Amino acid sequence: MGIAINEAVEIWDSAKEELKKVVPEASYPWIMPLEAAGFENDKLTLITGASFAVQIIRKFHYKQIMDALKSVVGREIKFDIIVDSKKTEELKKQTEKINKKYFDKETRERAMNNLAIMQSAANLNLKYKFENFVVGENNKMAHAVALQVAKDPCKKINPLFIYGGSGLGKTHLMQAIGHYIITHFPKLKIRYIKTEEYVNELINNLRMGGNSNDRMEKFRQKYRNVDVLLIDDIQFVESKTRTMEEIFHTFDTLYNKGKQIVITSDRLPKDIPTLTDRLRTRFEMGIVVDLQPPDFETRIAILKNLAAQERIEFPDDVCEYISKNFCDNVRELEGVFNKVSAFASISGVPVTLEFAKSTLKCEENKKKITIDEIAKVCAEYYNVTVKDLKSTQRSQAISQARQVAVYLTRETTGMSYVNIGAYFEKKHPTMLFSYEKIKKELITERRLREDLREIKQALKLEGQG
């Protein structure tokens, strides 16, 4: 059922006021000239005279517009953008007026050039933005610090060193910083590079004949004549003496000029064995943050976020089933989500729990970890017994072992607190307290994170997935 055109215009005008609070002025020429043309079946139709505006908005501002409309209407609605050739001249004049007010030609060209460079040369993935990064207890500190760097580059936090296991979101956060700065600070020059690519580029320059001094100088300036340098997977620099030498001088050049440096790694600087001391100390002189595997609730939120982005119906029981069986990292969850949604699309059937089970075959592919096995491994790790865990004893070792066992059981099996409590012969509020205590301490206690990592490895070594 449709509503009057004047109401549609009123909704869109109100939405634009909301958008002004979150959209950078650099994007006004694409969004503000849009006009409301109708509202029917919970879909707002917008018209534009610039076909390129549709691409820009779909890539960079889709969620912001959805959120603004939800804020105005009070519920989630959809929108569509139609290119209207009759409106081209009229909208062109409006766009030019906005351009003059908010966005001069030189800055606009610089922003578009910067964007083109980042997309083609640096190969940034457009899906890796802050808007679609799911924040949980496992990553909220890293997310907050990365966002602060993006909002205030080249200032307080420098360098930023992000570390964590494979597939936990390091590259996502790093590239989100790049995208944010491109949009909000178009005059800043940014360069993103994977360490492996940097190493290969250096080797190729050294191997080539001709005037090596000129060639090396161009190579160095490529990474030193920037405002923001993003270096991904720095652990691959270990044992490469010449590369470490080049990165050291590049780091010093940029840092002394007050330029922003962001680095990612799968481990702490001190845990990269052959990293030189002078590089290690420089990497640690800013802020070091880590990413941990997502907990059960965050895994469900990640799947729901993926479903929302792809506009796919993904029932709660499917999300819970996947979250119970795939615990290691975000990349694994994305792979499973893509597999289930793709197979459902090809088969022409909706995503259901039965379909997900038949597609993933988790029960067949790996032995399910039981609460008995978790309790046994935790007890052995802390040098106590399973009987101790079920007792009323409250020594530090027993309490720690019991709380870790509760946490791991909840995370890996999805068992209810009532059932976990029945196993440990405790009331379920005590189990909830144990889970929340470990979950909170994991954010700040590095020793506890190492304990959990070793316990999980022990479970996997015993063939329990």
Residue predicted with more confidence, 149 or 324: 149
Range of the domain at 392: 371-461
Identify whether 49 is part of a domain.
yes
Give residue for tokens 């494979």: 166
- Look at residue 463 in the predicted model and tell me its pLDDT: 34
Q: Is the pLDDT of residue 114 over 80?
A: no
Domain boundary, last residue among 337, 365, 393? 365
CATH code assigned at 308: 1.10.8.60
Identify whether 114 is part of a domain.
no
- Mean pLDDT for 310-330 is 86
Q: Is the pLDDT of residue 423 over 80?
A: yes
Q: pLDDT category, 252, cuts 50, 70, 90?
A: very high
Residue 428 sits in the same domain as residue 339: no
- Look at residue 89 in the predicted model and tell me its pLDDT: 54
User: How far apart (Å, rounded) are the C-alpha atoms in residues 152 and 227?
Assistant: 12
Residue 271 sits in the same domain as residue 157: yes
What are phi and psi for residue 210, nearest 5 degrees? 85, -155
Residue predicted with more confidence, 101 or 285: 285
Beta-bridged to residue 346, according to DSSP, are none
| CB burial of residue 110 (10 Å; 0-12, 13-18, 19+) | middle
CATH code assigned at 210: 3.40.50.300
Identify whether 107 is part of a domain.
no
Closest to 67 measured CA to CA, from 10, 131, 3, 129: 131
User: How far apart (Å, rounded) are the C-alpha atoms in residues 275 and 284?
Assistant: 12
- Look at residue 416 in the predicted model and tell me its pLDDT: 85
Pick the range with the lowest mean pLDDT from 65-79, 201-215, 389-403, 423-437.
201-215
What are phi and psi for residue 463, nearest 5 degrees? 80, 30
Residues with Cβ within 8 Å of residue 382, at least 6 apart in sequence: 397, 398, 400, 401, 404
- Look at residue 102 in the predicted model and tell me its pLDDT: 46
- Mean pLDDT for 378-388 is 93
Is pTM beyond 0.85? Reply is: no
Give residue for tokens 């534009």: 48
Q: Is the pLDDT of residue 328 over 80?
A: no
Query: What is the spatial order of strands in the sheet that 228-232 belongs to?
Result: 190-194, 228-232, 260-265, 160-164, 287-291
Q: Is the pLDDT of residue 64 over 80?
A: yes
Q: Is the pLDDT of residue 420 over 50?
A: yes
Could you read off the pLDDT of 269-300 as tens digits, one per residue?
988 888 889 999 999 999 999 998 888 888 98
Residue 63 sits in the same domain as residue 197: no
CA 40 from centre of chain? 34
Residue 312 sits in the same domain as residue 187: no
User: How far apart (Å, rounded) are the C-alpha atoms in residues 303 and 334?
Assistant: 8
- Look at residue 271 in the predicted model and tell me its pLDDT: 84
Q: pLDDT category, 65, cuts 50, 70, 90?
A: very high
Residues with Cβ within 8 Å of residue 130, at least 6 apart in sequence: 143, 146, 147, 150, 176, 179, 180
The mean pLDDT value of the chain amounts to 83
Residue 52 sits in the same domain as residue 188: no
Residue 305 sits in the same domain as residue 444: no
Residue 81 sits in the same domain as residue 27: yes
Between the alpha carbon of residue 334 and those of residues 126, 306, 352, the distances in Å are 16, 8, 17
Identify whether 121 is part of a domain.
no
Q: Please count the structural domains in the chain.
A: 4
Residue 239 sits in the same domain as residue 210: yes
Identify whether 108 is part of a domain.
no
Beta-bridged to residue 193, according to DSSP, are 231
Closest to 408 measured CA to CA, from 444, 445, 451: 451
